[in-house]
Every structure is written in structure tokens, then in C-alpha cells.
Amino acid sequence: MNVANHPFDAETVMAYFDGELAPAEAANIAAHLQSCPDCAKLAADFSSISASLAKWQVGNFRPREEHFAVSAKRVERKNNRPHLGALVWAAGIGAACLLLAAIFIPNLIKSKMAANESSTVGSLRTLNTATIAYTTEHGHLPLTLQSLEGEIDATLASGTKSGYRYIYQPYGNRYIISAEPVEPSKTGSRSFSTDETGIILANGKPLGGYFSDDYSKLQGKEMAEKAIRPVSPVPMIARTVELSITVQNFPAARSTLDALLIRHHGYAAQLTISGDPSSRGSLQASLRIPVSELASALSELKALGRVERESQSGEEVTMQHADLAARISNARETELRLKEILRTRTGKVSDVLAVEQQVSQTRGEIERMEAELQALETRVDFATLSLNLITESKERISELSPSAATRLHNALVSGYTDARETVIDLAVWLLSSGPQILFWLLVLVAPGFWIWRRWRIHYTRITAA
């Protein structure tokens, strides 16, 4: 307080509330407090502090001036040590502050968590409204939260607000928004989520007061199942078409097919061309065409030539999609619980490793199911068209046979080639088989020749006799 502007300083006002002033001086201060707003505010602060301190009793000790009055010799003899009463007084004030902190800090944390959760629920409702507005304006779901920055505030679009982290995941014409506490048990104790139905779930269960009247009429397990597994009012159909067309001009049909895919926002998942693509080629392709443009694309394809075969079929995958979405939601809740166990567990290392392995397995299952869900929604959004283009067959006049001289020349060349190959083959056979033939001749013919000579000599002698 500025003494130049006020006749009494802060210490005098404090002494007035402690009852340490003379009656006349106390009356002057009381009159001044009624006319001065600044001093009145200071007096109110002192009064609040005095009231708080008056609630705490520290034994029967009452400090007096004589307890703190120390002679110079006593101070010198005790080497400037503080008085025992002052230490007790300071210890009492410290204990009071610690008790106040122990009482109020947990309550403040709980209040902060409750405020964060309430803000998160409101943010999810805001995101649902902004997503609907964006879809109505652009004709498709937003790709990320940043796409909604024109509809929501920049803090929420960044993905983190009021102690919660927001995760937006689009699936075809559906989406899921999850909100998880940045620091569990500090910024929030529950996880929230919502989808295109507008229902807000807290830890996988519908949040009371935040879902529609239709769901409020349900009871118990039926309510939870219907909230977790919203059934689409429009059946989800995976369409398949097979088309075989005979064309007269294959190159023109090929160019028209490429332009058709670009015009109708489709693509070729597989394409094979055989034969001569400049004249009599054939084409087999598996095309993906958006369902909304399938009818017009079929009309243009049929105009390419003569339709030889056409087949259309549809498979309803509504319940399959709902089942996958529910399994993904349950797996995410399991993953959150496992992470919480892993965060708070202080047991054996083997137990911690087992929990980490379970978390890894759960994450792998979630990613696999999300891939299945994405593939299923792609089948619904894009029809599968199996196309077979065949060029119309026309017989051609064969070329004239070669002249006689050419035929004779070719025959002479062929004969020479055959003779040369025969000589070469014979030489190769002799070189490879000759040693074996000579060996068997020596083994078999030599004894026979010796026997024949002996018999010849013996026969000559008998004849001569």
C-alpha cells in the first residue's frame, strides 16, 4: 500500500484485525476502511486469511512478545539459533499448508478430469455436426480432421484438445472418431468414440443423455449391442458384372475403353492383351467402376460391338460389414485395457513381456480387420466388371506359292544340309562307339579264329591221310 495515498500502512491494518491497536486508533482505521475501496479490499483479504488460520489449532501454544525477545548476550551465547517457539510455530504453519494441499489437489485433479471429459463429449458432437456439413457440401467424407478446419476451431482440428487426443478414421461412406486421454488418470479416465450414427460411446458403452430416443427405448444388452453395431438403413451390395463383346476394330475399342475408365473414374485392376493389338487382338480385363456410374459405363461398353454374353450379380454384405466394425471396436477396447495394465504393472519381467506380446497380437488383429473392412467397402463402392473383347474373325486370301526355281533351290539346300548332318552324326557315332566295338571284337572274334584254325589244320591232316 502506498503511504502517500493512504494514512495507514498494511501492517497497521493487519494489527487492527488482530486487535493490537488502541481504541482511538482502531476507530480511525474503521472509519477510513468505510471510505477507501482499496483499503477495504485489503482488509477483506486479511480477514479471509485470519479466518482460515483461526480454524487450525496447534496445541495450546500462544506466542508472546517475551518469547521472541532475546537479549544480545543470549543470541551471542546460542550462536544465533532460533527460539523453540518460533520453530513450533513454523512447523504448524507448514503442516497446515501440507494438509490443505493434500485435501484440495486431488479434488482439483478430479474436477479438471471431469471438465476435460465434458469438453471432449461436446467436441465429439461438434465433429459429428461438422462432418455432416462437410459431406453435404462436398459430396464425400473429409479425409482428415484438418479438412474440417473451416467448420471447427484450429485447436480441435490439430487433433489434441482439453487433454484428449482425437483420431479420425474414414471407411468408405462411414467414419469413426475416437478420443483418448493424453495422460490416463491425469487428463481423463474414460475413452470416448462416435460414428456416423451420432451416438457417443464411453468405454464402449452408450453415454447417457447423448444418444437418440430410439436407443433410449432399448434396455440392457440389446441397447449396448445396437449402439455398438449400427445397422445401415441402406443395404450394402457388392456388384459383379461379366461382359463379352465382339468388336470389328480392336485398336479403336482399346482407345475407347481407356477414355471410358477416365471419364467414369474407374480403373483396371488387371488387364491382358493377346494377339496382334494393331489388328486381331483380344483383351481380358477386370475393371473397377463406381456403382453410381455403372449403368452408363455398361451402355458405352455395349456400344463397342456385338454383346456375346452378359451376366450381373449382387452380394449383400451389410451384416458382414457391421460384424467387422463391431469386432474392430471391441479389439480397440481390449488394446486400451492392455496398455493400461502395461502402464501400471510392476510385477515380473515375464508378465510384462506377456502383456506386450498380447498388445502386439491385438494390434495385428485390428490392422488385419481394418484391411478387410476397407476391402469390403471398396467392393461395395466399386463394382467389379469382367470384360472380354474379341476381334471379329475374317478369313484372308493366302499368299501365292513360291516359284519352281525357288522350290528346287530350297530342296537342294535341304538335301545338302541333311547329308552333312548325316555324315556328322555318323562320325560322332563312330567316335563314341568305336572303342567299345573294337574291344568286343578282340574278346569274341580272336578265340573263335583260333578255334577255326585248329580245326582247319586237323581237317587237312585227316584228308591227307
How many residues does this entry show for the chain?
A: 465
Report which of residues 434 and 130 the model is more confident about. Answer: 130
Determine the distance from the C-alpha atom of residue 79 to the mean position of all C-alpha atoms in its chain, rounded to a whole number: 70
pLDDT-derived band at 164 (thresholds 50, 70, 90) equals very high
* Gap between the Cα atoms of 315 and 376, Å rounded: 11
Strand order across the beta sheet in which 382-391 lies: 267-274, 282-290, 382-391, 237-247, 306-316
* Gap between the Cα atoms of 106 and 222, Å rounded: 37
Q: What is the pLDDT of residue 394?
A: 59
What mean pLDDT, rounded, does the chain reach?
77
Residue 27: CB partners within 8 Å, gap ≥ 6? none
Output the 3-class SS for 217-282. CCCHHHHHHHHHCCCCCCCCEEEEEEEEEEECCHHHHHHHHHHHHHHCCCEEEEEEEECCCCCCCE
Residue 80 region by backbone torsions, left for phi larger than 0, else alpha for psi between -120 and 50, else beta: left
First to last CA, the chain: 175
Q: Tens digit of pLDDT for each residue in 319-346?
A: 888 888 888 888 888 888 888 777 776 6
Q: What is the pLDDT of residue 241?
A: 92
Q: At what angle do helices 318-344 and 220-228 cross, to 10 degrees?
A: 100
Q: What is the pLDDT of residue 286?
A: 92
pLDDT above 80 (res 166): yes
Q: Mean pLDDT across the stretch 169-197? A: 84
pLDDT-derived band at 230 (thresholds 50, 70, 90) equals very low
The domains of the chain, with CATH numbers, are: 10-100 (no CATH), 237-317+382-391 (3.30.70)
- Eight-class DSSP state of 398: P
Q: Tens digit of pLDDT for each residue in 57-103?
A: 555 545 444 444 444 445 445 444 455 666 766 777 776 676 666 66
Q: Mean pLDDT across the stretch 1-25? A: 66
Cell numbers describing residue 184: 490416463
Distances, alpha carbon 86 to alpha carbons 59, 62, 411, in Å: 14, 11, 132
pLDDT above 70 (res 116): yes
> Would you tell me how many other CB atoms lie within 10 Å of the CB of residue 61?
11
pLDDT above 50 (res 458): yes
